[in-house]
Amino acid sequence: MHHLTQAPTEPGFVQDPYPFYDEARALGDIVWWEDYALPVATSYAAVSAILRDRRMGRAPVRPPDIPAHLAAFYAVEAHSMLELEPPRHTRLRGLVMRAFTSRRIKALGPEIDALSHQLIDDLPQGEFDLLPRFAQKLPVIVIARLLGVPETMADQLLAWSNAMVAMYQARRTRQIEEHAAAAATEFVQFMRSYVDKRRVDPADDLITHLIAAEADGEKLSTDELITTCILLLNAGHEATVHTIGNGVKALVEHETGPEALGPDAAEAAVEEILRFDPPLHMFTRHVYENLELFGHRFARGDEIGCLLGAAGRDPVVWQAPNRFDPARAVKVNLAFGAGIHFCVGAPLARLELQIALPALFRRMPDLRLAERPRYANLYHFHGLEALRLATR
Query: By the 8 A CB rule, do 211 and 202 touch?
Result: yes
**Is 336 in contact with 343 (CB distance < 8 Å)?**
yes
The pLDDT assigned to 236 comes to 73
Can you tell me the distance from the alpha carbon of 23 to that of 26, in angstroms, rounded to the nearest whole number? Answer: 5
Written as one string, the DSSP assignment of 339-388 is: GGGS-TTHHHHHHHHHHHHHHHHHH-TTEEESS--EE-S-TTB--EEE-E
Residue 215: the pLDDT is 63
Taking CA 332 as the corner, what is the angle to CA 331 and CA 333, rounded to the nearest 5 degrees? 110
pLDDT at position 390: 94
Give the C-alpha separation, 78 to 66, whole Å. 12
> How distant, in Å, are the alpha carbons of 45, 49, 289, 340 from that of 54?
16, 10, 10, 9
Give the N- to C-terminal CA distance of the chain in Å, as an integer.
50
User: How many CB atoms lie under 10 A from the CB of residue 167?
Assistant: 18
Using DSSP's 3-state secondary structure scheme, residue 9 falls into: coil
The strand pairing partners of 297, in sequence order, are: 292
Residues of the chain with pLDDT under 50: none
Closest to 313 (Cα-Cα) out of 285, 274, 349, 283: 274
Judge contact between 382 and 242, C-beta under 8 A.
yes
Q: How far apart are CA 41 and CA 306, in angstroms?
A: 5
Q: Write down the pTM of the prediction.
A: 0.94
Distance of CA 336 to the CA centre of its chain: 7
- Helix (H) or strand (E) run with residue 298 in it: strand 296-298
CA–CA gap between residue 142 and residue 237 (Å, rounded): 9
Rounded CA Rg of the chain? 21
Strand partners, 389: 128, 369
From CA 270, how far away is CA 312, in angstroms rounded? Answer: 13
